[in-house]
Amino acid sequence: TQLLEQSPQFLSIQEGENLTVYCNSSSVFSSLQWYRQEPGEGPVLLVTVVTGGEVKKLKRLTFQFGDARKDSSLHITAAQPGDTGLYLCAGSHNNDMRFGAGTRLTVKP
């Protein structure tokens, strides 16, 4: 079973702070995705990483895939209230896709 553990489970910060959330597994994935989900809606894809050590940037969000392709991190610089949401990581190998339980981020104005 490929389990994905996300930490922290909850995070509440002030606007302007930086933060990092983590996604860890003992299994190797061929790709890893990060999604953001807002209340009452389905998850929306933010990024896909496929190469060990890969770093992708999306405005203030920086995503990194671990060298061994077992873990990933999401770093947000100067968080804004609009970043509030549930951040989910999902790892894929062959046709098998597994989601973590998510990190619920609240950014206070």
Applying CB under 8 A, among 62, 73, 84, 92 the residue interacting with other proteins is: 92
**Total site size for other proteins, rule CB under 8 A:** 25
* Rounded Cα gap, residues 18 and 11, in angstroms: 11
Task: Scan residues 55-84 and list those touching other proteins (CB under 8 A).
Answer: none
Give whichever of 22 and 99 is closer to other proteins, judged by the CB atom: 99
Distances from the Cα of 64 to the Cαs of 31, 44, 47, 83, in angstroms? Answer: 12, 18, 10, 18
Distances from the Cα of 13 to the Cαs of 73, 80, 82, in angstroms? Answer: 18, 10, 13
Give whichever of 24 and 48 is closer to other proteins, judged by the CB atom: 48
Binding site for other proteins (CB under 8 A): 4, 29-31, 33, 40-45, 48, 50, 88, 90-93, 95, 97-102
